[in-house]
């Protein structure tokens, strides 16, 4: 009888997610501005840098985040492009510490419906941006067999009779 190592793979998968740090996801370099930077300047930076978020820092400490979702809301409602970004940023954003696990980052993202998490050091200085795309890349690189063999739907439900 052939033994399956399926349970073993699942255990390795969970073990790695609960032991490897978010640094393994190759976080991107964050785009940082001061609270006085205007909304218009931030829009230009987002476009020039081809990124979806900017971190707002005061004396190198993270105080807020502004994402493309925020930009869309502003454009839909109209805004003063000369106003400081601090007036429209999300204050005290959810973050992940550089020594936390991949699992903790995934849990925070899932709980908050977030696509990005600023990665900070011990004093609250942003040192990276953990993105969903980076986590997916990490998962595919570290667990290709588990990822590529997943069924398209975990529990398919038949809506019609199959056959005669």
Q: Which residue blocks in 3-162 are alpha helix, DSSP H?
A: 6-19, 39-49, 68-77, 102-112, 132-142, 144-148
Angle between helices 6-19 and 102-112 (to 10 degrees): 90
pLDDT for 150 equals 60
Is 9 a residue whose pLDDT tops 60? no
pLDDT for 132 equals 92
Closest alpha carbon to 131 in 68, 48, 86: 68
pLDDT for 151 equals 63
Q: Are the CB atoms for 111 and 46 separated by under 8 Å?
A: no
pLDDT for 2 equals 42
Is 1 a residue whose pLDDT tops 70? no
76: number of CA atoms within 13 Å, CB side?
6
Q: Which residues contact 29 (CB under 8 A, 6 or more apart)?
A: 128, 129
pLDDT digits (tens, 9 = 90+) for 13-62: 555 778 889 988 889 999 999 999 999 999 999 999 999 999 999 999 99
CATH topology of domain 9-146: CBS-domain (3.10.580)
Confidence of residue 141 (pLDDT cuts 50, 70, 90): confident
pLDDT digits (tens, 9 = 90+) for 78-125: 888 999 999 999 999 999 999 999 999 999 999 999 999 999 999 999
pLDDT for 14 equals 59
Q: Are strands 96-97 and 116-120 parallel, antiparallel or unpaired?
A: parallel
pLDDT for 145 equals 67
pLDDT for 130 equals 95
CA 100 to chain centre: 14
What are the residue boundaries of the structural domains of the chain, listed by start?
9-146
């Amino acid at each position: 009888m052939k033994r399956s190592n399926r349970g073993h793979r699942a255990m390795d998968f969970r073990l790695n997610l609960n032991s490897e740090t978010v640094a393994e996801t190759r976080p991107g370099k964050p785009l940082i501005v001061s609270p006085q930077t205007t909304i218009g300047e931030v829009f230009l930076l987002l476009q020039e840098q081809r990124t979806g978020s900017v971190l707002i820092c005061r004396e190198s400490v993270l105080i807020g985040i502004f994402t493309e979702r925020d930009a869309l809301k502003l454009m839909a409602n109209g805004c003063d492009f000369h106003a400081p970004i601090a007036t429209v940023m999300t204050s005290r954003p959810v973050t992940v510490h550089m020594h936390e696990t991949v699992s903790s980052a995934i849990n925070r993202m899932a709980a908050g419906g977030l696509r990005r998490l600023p990665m900070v050091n011990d004093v609250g200085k942003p040192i990276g941006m953990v993105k969903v795309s980076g986590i997916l890349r990490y998962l595919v690189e570290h667990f290709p067999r588990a990822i590529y063999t997943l069924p398209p739907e975990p529990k398919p439900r038949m809506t019609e009779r199959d056959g005669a």
